[in-house]
Amino acid sequence: MAGETRDDTHLAMLDALSRKALWLSNWMIHHANHIRPNASGVKVGGHQSSSASMTAIMTALYFDVLRPEDRVAVKPHAAPVFHAIQYLFGRQTLDKLKAFRGLGGAQSYPSRTKDTDDVDISTGSVGLGVAFTAFASIVQDYIRAKSWARPDMPEGRMIALVGDAELDEGNVYECLLEGWKQGLRNTWWVIDYNRQSLDGVVREGLYDRIAAIFKAFDWRVVTIKYGARQRAAFAEPGGERLRAWIDACPNGLYSALMYQGGAAWRARLQDDLGDQGDVSALIARRDDAELADLMANLGGHCLESLLDAFHGIDDDRPTVFIAYTVKGWGTPLAGHKDNHSGQMTEAQIHALRDAMGVRAGHEWAPFEGLGIDEAVLRAFLDRVPFNTGASRRLSAAPVAAIGPQAVGGASTQATTSTQTAFGRIMDAIAKTDTDLARRIVTTSPDVTVSTNLGGWVNRRALFAADEIADIFQRQRIPSAQKWHFSPQGQHIELGIAEMNLFLLLGAAGLAHELFGERLLPVGTLYDPFISRGLDALNYACYQDARFMVVATPSGVSLAGEGGAHQSIAQPLIGMSQDGLASFEPAFADELAVIIDWGFSHMQRTGAKTPDPVSFLPDAAGGAVYLRLSTRPVDQPRRAMTPALADAIITGGYWLKAPEPGCEVVIACQGVAMTEAVAAAGLIGGARRNVAVLAVTSADRLHAGWLAAEKARAEGARAEGAMDAVSPVERLLDQVPDHAGIVTVIDGHPATLAWLGGVNGHRVAALGVDHFGQTGTVEDLYAHYGIDAQGIAAAARRFTRGRRRRG
Ligand SMILES: Cc1ncc(C[n+]2csc(CCOP(=O)(O)OP(=O)(O)O)c2C)c(N)n1
Ligand SMILES: [Mg+2]
């Protein structure tokens, strides 16, 4: 195997491939920006310097160190290097490289869902891919503790290739602390320590801070500072003086000299070290080009040093490699403080091409100019461990749902809250001896008990690599919670950081593809704090992770908690977040149907084409968001028919159907249903028909409507069928044109205001549009006009208005 026979030929091979990866990544960006037609004139972009900085690190890893079971998050702006390497492996097409950053082309930042060259972990929002690796490792441990791990799949290392400025992101530190608590293993972070970010050169002394932080969390710190040629020079007479000069050189000056080249290095070194005997002679022995090469030979660009460092690790302790690099290494952009988005000129790229031995017109040739026989290179690539085996994207058979009846232990209560019902449903599932129960893994950022997961945890225990008994139980101190940790446990208790919650849900929600084992992750948190983890939630959805996030309390319904604990925008987040089916049920029986459906939805992987009835792309599956409340609500006494269950999943149904003379519809999502029903009673009656539309998912009704609109538009364009009708249109088709709709939600009124656009009904959109107060629910609902009186008042405007307009 490569890596085990590290002789000169092997190094020469790697060096050739490194040069090729450097060239192809730079050319890919040049081609996209300067050769491919670009009618709009809008910058295409791409990061030549950030790619160059990482080339040797990625060469050492991909062509030697990595094993098929390892999983890698590549620094987003090194995507071109990743695509180039996959191209050399024969796993990326030339067409995709030519279309880099174009429609259907290789993606700007590595993407699991959009790229076709086997991206392990998407990146783009800096810091998230880094932390994701830690949670992927925890998920790997979880699976192995259950003895599910596939016998053909050894334990992998979860590896992040990290830009040094990514360490500015707070989520990195949140994850370090969580990792320490969880006994993190098998995690490598390789920091591309080029001491430049986007805007410029970083502060002096950063290395010491970084190293100290990692050591504080019990990580091994491996510093790869000097290349082999530098180390050889340090061994020459006077070499120690040169090393001391390098160590003392400020980051900005080193970068500037890198940019200026050999003559500038000589002038500066002579100023500082001239007439000093051995070291002056050491410098004088080298011509300008050799001197520049020596000073550029930092550890992160030296394959030998990198391989030594990586192969030096033979245990599972989390390890950070701080690899000193130069941003733009090997290109004329090297070291310039503005090089982040800088690109080579035509003349510069041609000069680089010539230096690479690549002929004009042969820029994409994978093996041109390497001085090694193509057959030898191909044979080498075929033997590279990472390149052996089939697709790295694994799969796992779906776990069967158990039906809403089996999970619906809550529906017998006359009055209950959706959050109480959630706890009972989870408890009911926990009692079953089913694969579904076994594959669920729950997690919560220090709000397990207050989000009602206590019953589940009591039955299914907490996860930890080693048993930890519940001391309170042992001491016979009464407590409703049994907190027993064991490798069999199925709840991962997190610290408060919501970013970590969504990163873990993302990693666990990809267990089937990363590790070939199905997990059904359920995470609970406080609804307003979705915003705290929002980018990680978006990131999990972007990666197509499958999970269920259950958030309470909705809106101002936990009225006593006040503005900081009340959520307003969350229903709009639920609607606008791609890949997330969002529900806000009012009743417990709806919740049972939704949860049962949700576990199946989390496992579907079909086509994204809209269903002909719901107009939702449900065959493709996705993640699920449930917005619940702690407020008790009177429950309807009814049988759950298949038709009702379908409507609940589609997004809405008539709680009180419109009659032909209907003047007002009250459309309500979630916990304000109590007020909606009461308002209908106030204004309806013998004389006037008031209908009540129970919306379980504005998200899905809205998405179905847009999809039907699109289908009609396409039909019109093609002069084909235009008869697509979405569920919300079928519902509102029953409402007379002159009727008005009052929409009600404990959340932002825009969530339902669009209902007026469907058939042109007038709308009064009620909801919460300012920070909440403390008070009782009655106080607050009256304050926002979503109490029964407020709803009735809004409805009266319609009935009077109609008469006036006669
Ligand atoms: C969350 C987030 N904020 C900002 C950006 C824009 N951005 C992309 S790269 C970058 C600088 C990264 O510097 P570093 O990590 O040191 O990478 P280098 O290019 O130096 O290797 C910034 C600010 C981003 N991608 N994500
Ligand atoms: Mg940097």
Tens of pLDDT, residues 209-264: 999 999 999 999 999 999 999 999 999 999 999 999 999 999 999 999 999 999 99
Q: Where are the alpha helices (DSSP H) in 194-261?
A: 206-216, 228-235, 239-248, 251-260
Residue 805 has pLDDT above 80, yes or no: no
Pocket probe mutation, ligand 1, options 25, 161, 190, 198, max atoms within 8 Å of Cβ: 198
Q: How far is the CA of 175 from the centre of ligand 2 (A)?
A: 20
User: From the CB of residue 636, how many other CB atoms can be counted at a distance below 10 Å?
Assistant: 15
Name the pairing type of β-strands 548-552 and 623-627.
Answer: parallel
Q: Is the CB of 126 under 6 A from ligand 1?
A: yes
Cβ–ligand 1 distance for 55 under 6 Å, the answer no
50 lines ligand 1 (CB under 6 A): yes
Minimum-distance ligand 1 atom for the alpha carbon of 47 = 19
| pLDDT given at position 421 | 95
**Atom 15 of ligand 1: nearest residue by CA position:** 163
Tell which atom from ligand 1 comes closest to the C-alpha of 196: 20
Say what the pLDDT of residue 2 is. 43
Type and span of the H or E element at 163? strand 158-163
| Paired strand residues for 220 | 319
Label residue 404 by pLDDT band (50, 70, 90).
confident
For residue 79, give every residue at least 6 positions away whose Cβ sits within 8 Å of its Cβ, in sequence order, or none.
Answer: 51, 106, 107, 108, 109, 110
How much of the chain, in percent, has pLDDT values that exceed 70? 98
Q: For Cα atoms 21, 26, 31, give the angle at the middle one, nearest 5 degrees.
A: 125
CA–centroid distance, residue 326 to ligand 2 (Å):
9
Q: 165 in ligand 1 pocket by Cβ < 6 Å?
A: yes
The Cα 309–Cα 299 span in angstroms is 10
- Counted residue by residue, the chain has a size of 806
Residue 1: predicted pLDDT: 41
Query: Which of 51, 126, 171 to probe ligand 1 with, by most ligand atoms within 8 A of CB?
Result: 126
Over residues 664-687, the mean pLDDT reads 93
Q: For residue 780, what are its two tokens? A: 């607050």
* Ligand 1 atom nearest to 325, measured from its CA: 21
How confident is the model over 316-334, as pLDDT tens digits? Answer: 999 999 999 999 999 999 9
Assess whether the C-beta atom of 70 lies below 6 angstroms from ligand 1.
Answer: no
Predicted confidence band of residue 776 (pLDDT cuts 50, 70, 90):
very high
> With a 6 A CB cut-off, is 197 part of the ligand 1 pocket?
yes
> Is the bond preceding residue 553 a cis peptide, omega within 30 degrees?
yes
What's the confidence (pLDDT) of residue 718?
A: 82
Question: Rounded to 5 degrees, what are φ and ψ at 210?
Answer: -60, -50
Distance (Å, whole) CA 121 – CA 187: 14
539 three-class SS: helix
- Answer whether 404's CB lies under 8 Å from 83's CB: no
Question: What φ, ψ does residue 752 adopt, rounded to 5°?
Answer: -115, -5
Helices (H), 92-127: 94-98
When pLDDT is averaged across residues 508-522 and rounded to a whole number, the result is 97
The most confident of 137-151, 528-542, 550-564, by mean pLDDT: 528-542
User: For residues 642 and 698, what is the distance between their CA atoms, to the nearest angstrom?
Assistant: 21
Residue 408: which pLDDT band, with cuts at 50, 70 and 90?
Answer: low
Are 287 and 315 spatial neighbours (Cβ–Cβ below 8 Å)?
no
Residue 561: per-residue pLDDT: 85
Distance CA 616, CA 703 (A): 7
Q: How confident is the model at residue 694 (pLDDT cuts 50, 70, 90)?
A: very high
Min mean pLDDT across 475-479, 697-701, 756-760, 792-796 is at 475-479
What span, in angstroms and rounded, lies between the C-alpha atoms of 262 and 267? 9
Specify the residue with its C-alpha closest to ligand 1, atom 9: 198
Mean pLDDT in residue range 349-356: 98
pLDDT of the residue at 803: 47
Specify burial of residue 247 (Cβ count, 10 A radius: 0-12, 13-18, 19+): exposed
CA of 101 to the centre of ligand 1 (A): 17
Checking if the pLDDT of 738 tops 90, the result is yes
At 241, give phi and psi (nearest 5°).
-65, -40
Task: Compute, in angstroms, the gap from residue 54 CA to the centroid of ligand 2.
Answer: 10
Q: What is the pTM of this model?
A: 0.96
For tokens 């500015």, the residue is 168
CB of 74 within 6 A of ligand 1: the answer is no
What is the token pair recorded at 113? 């869902």
> What does the pLDDT read at residue 800?
56
Q: Give the rounded distance of the alpha carbon of 267 from its chain centre.
A: 48
Atom of ligand 1 nearest to the CA of 163: 15
Crossing angle of helices 48-60 and 8-30, rounded to 10°: 150
The protein residue whose alpha carbon is closest to atom 12 in ligand 1 is: 197
Average pLDDT, the chain: 94
* 3 state DSSP class of 306: helix
DSSP H helix total and E strand total for the chain? 34, 20
For 372-386, how does the pLDDT look when each residue is reduced to its tens digit (9 = 90+)?
Answer: 999 999 999 999 999
Q: What is the mean pLDDT of residues 5-23?
A: 92
d(CA 268, CA 285): 16
| Minimum-distance ligand 1 atom for the alpha carbon of 162 | 15
Task: Sort 414 into a burial class: Cβ within 10 Å, 0-12 / 13-18 / 19+.
Answer: exposed
Ligand approaching nearest to the C-alpha of 48: 1
Contact (Cβ atoms closer than 8 angstroms) between residue 629 and residue 552:
yes
Residue 3 has pLDDT above 50, yes or no: no
For residues 557 and 587, is the Cβ–Cβ distance under 8 A? no
Q: 580 - beta bridge partners?
A: 623
If DSSP codes are grouped into helix, strand and coil, which group holds residue 286?
coil
Contact of 772 with 746, CB cutoff 8 Å:
no
Mean pLDDT of 23-50: 96
Report which of 387, 402, 409, 487 is spatially closest to residue 441, judged by C-alpha positions. Answer: 487
Position 405 scores a pLDDT of 78
pLDDT reported for residue 722: 75
Which of 25, 51, 128, 340 best tests ligand 1's pocket when mutated (most atoms within 8 Å of CB)?
340
Site of tokens 């999502």: 669
Under 8 Å CB-to-CB from 505, ≥6 apart: which residues? 443, 521, 523, 537, 540, 545, 547, 549, 623
Q: For residues 259 and 264, what is the distance between their CA atoms, to the nearest angstrom?
A: 9
What is the rounded average pLDDT of the residues 493-513?
98
Q: How much is the pLDDT for 328?
A: 97
Q: Which amino acid appears at position 586 of this protein?
A: A
Q: Residue 804 has what pLDDT?
A: 42
Distance 325 CA to ligand 2 centre (A): 9
- Is residue 141 very low, low, confident or very high in pLDDT (cuts 50, 70, 90)? very high
Lowest mean pLDDT among 509-518, 525-534, 681-690, 734-743: 681-690
Angle at 602 between CA 597 and CA 607, to 5 degrees: 100
Percent of the chain with pLDDT over 90: 86
Give the distance (Å) from ligand 2 centre to CA of residue 189.
14
- What is the pLDDT at residue 143? 96
pLDDT at residue 670 in the model: 98
Ligand nearest 167 Cα, by number?
1
238 CA to middle of ligand 2, Å? 31
The predicted pLDDT at position 221 comes to 98
Q: How many CB atoms lie within 10 A of CB 715?
A: 14
Task: Provide the pLDDT confidence category of residue 690 given band limits of 50, 70 and 90.
Answer: very high
State the Cα–Cα distance between residues 805 and 238, nearest whole angstrom: 97
Largest CA distance in the chain: 108
Residue 799 in this model has a pLDDT that exceeds 60: yes
Convert 336-359 to b/e letters by CB count within 10 Å (16 or more is b).
bbebbebbbeeebbeebbeebebe
DSSP 8-class letter at 672: T
- CA 327 to ligand 1: nearest atom: 20
Whether 664 contacts 742, CB under 8 Å = yes
Give the closest ligand to the alpha carbon of residue 251: 2
- Provide mean pLDDT across the span 148-159: 87
| Lookup: tokens for 708 | 């039907």
Sign of CA dihedral 312, 11, 29, 324: positive
Task: Please compute the mean of the pLDDT values over residues 58-73 and round it to a whole number.
Answer: 97
What spacing in Å lies between the alpha carbon of 204 and ligand 1's midpoint?
19
Distance CA 145, CA 151 (A): 13
How far is the C-alpha of 215 from the C-alpha of 392, rounded, in Å? 33
Q: Is 325 in the pocket of ligand 1 (CB under 6 A)?
A: no
**Phi-psi domain of 476 (left: phi exceeds 0; alpha: psi -120 through 50; beta: other):** left
What average pLDDT does the segment 123-138 reach?
98
What pLDDT shows up at residue 319?
98
The DSSP output letter for 388 is S
Most confident among 52-66, 404-418, 562-576 (mean pLDDT): 52-66
The response to whether residue 162 sits with its C-beta less than 6 Å from ligand 1 reads no
**Lowest-confidence segment of 23-32, 329-338, 709-718, 759-768 by average pLDDT:** 709-718
* pLDDT confidence tier of residue 4, bands split at 50, 70 and 90: very low
Q: If we measure between CA atoms, which residue out of 334, 344, 351 comes closest to residue 297?
A: 334
Average pLDDT over residues 138-164: 92
The residue contributing the CA closest to ligand 1 atom 22 is: 198
pLDDT of residue 801 exceeding 70: no
In sequence order, what are the beta bridge partners of 695?
A: 652, 669
Question: How sure is the predictor about 479, in pLDDT bands with cuts at 50, 70 and 90?
Answer: confident
- The mean per-residue pLDDT over the stretch 176-186 comes to 98
Q: Which atom of ligand 1 is nearest to the CA of 127?
A: 1
CA–centroid distance, residue 192 to ligand 2 (Å): 7
